[in-house]
Structure 1
Amino acid sequence: MTSTQTRVAIVTGASGGIGRVVAERLAADGMSVLVHYSGNQARADETVAAITEAGGIASAFRADVADETAVAAMFDAAEQRYGGIDVVVHTAGIMLLSPLAELNLDDLDRMHRTNIRGTFVVDQQAARRVRTGGAIINFSTSVTKIALPTYTAYAATKGAVDAITLILARELRGRDITVNAVAPGPTATPLYLDGKEQSVIDRMAAMSPLERLGEPKDIAEAVAFLAGPARWINGQVIYANGGVI
């Protein structure tokens, strides 16, 4: 990759929440961004519009992250539209909460398909296509360490993401491609806040020495660091949680 070449990023799950803010941040850093979504085209179009109105370059693409054919088509689209791929940020995932003893195993299978298989499928294409000097950034969770009740199955899927991340970094030896994961703590997104009583939100905010929930922009800052200047951070899980653990 030459110094004058515009970098290209694919951001999965970029139609809302943390993914949207990550897409906007990478675009603001000068990258052309392929905005992935799985179902809500209107929200994906809003992300694209926000980026283009701010002077950036973006377009949307729909795909099931666990479908290898659809994901390959998404990577094809990024290469055709922008000339190559330098950064892949995989934020897409689902979270279904229940105590282990009460968990509906269909929910476990759904999370396994999206969170584990989806990460594997996206990373497989990324490993084959990201250009020299690029970065692959998966999304884990701080709950693997905080160990909150009801998060058993979700945290288990993200533990698998950690393993995929650490081993893929070593498998890409000699390619000058970094592979890391960002593990957010409690973050004020609609997904996180939905259905929670204020007392629960306040308690979670108090867990951090900074005494607040994270904001999507806090997580995007960590992603931008790993996607850009952080070339000596590789094979790591970065806990972006304000010091909760």
Structure 2
Amino acid sequence: MSLPPPPQPDPARTSLFLDIDGTLAEFKRRPEEVGPTPRLTALLQALGRRLDGRIAVISGRALADMDRITAGAVVAASGVHGLEHRDALGRVEAASPHPGLERARGAFTALVQAHPELLLEDKGLGLVLHYRTAPELAELANATAARMVDETGLALQKGDMMAEVRTPGRNKGDALRTFMAEPPFQGGRPVFVGDDLTDESAFEAARDLGGHGVLVGPQRETAAAFRLDDVASVLGWLEAFAAADLHSLAS
């Protein structure tokens, strides 16, 4: 059964959590090509005002990269799938890098040198082999990542057109639950918007805490209750919700 589009959030009760890639921003051939836009920055600022600060970004990207893309418009953020956490007051906590990352870094670097079509992203707490520009190397990239997990004890993180290993620990659902125990999110109804399999834990956490998830992209088996077609649909839905604030600024 196809999921319906989400209702408009209740500004007095909603705590809003947003993924970045595939949700707020289109995928690019290389992850560093995703950057800030005036439209997204203005939207995030308006949502923060509309929700009295009950907005956070939860992404697989590192916090510094998230801040670059959002132009610092959202303080509360969780990066590397929950391994980095910054609360609404700007206080940061992060896991310690797993010692196996050094070995994986060497293996991934050697693979990229042999296949320059691959891109290595180093998040500090995790490593990603991107093969969006070379899908024929997917099997090789994933096999290398799986081998590193077996040899080092790193965690395998599934994602879209990439092979990722990371420090074991928290996931996006854990990040959402942490935010919901902190001000200003406490007492709100969590809504998480995301597109990837990595977002399922956050959909589940939102549901368990009395809210819901919004899946972005094609219909699939999911813990989300609602669905939007694509990034354009997400931005349009969020802009409609933020319209009161945006219109008041323009008047």
Bin the TM-score by the shorter chain. Answer: 0.3 to 0.5
| Higher strand residue share | 2
Q: Higher relative CO (CA 8 A, sep ≥ 6), structure 1 or 2?
A: 2
Could you say which structure has the larger radius of gyration? 2
Q: What TM-score, normalized by structure 1, do the two folds share?
A: 0.39
| Higher helix residue share | 1
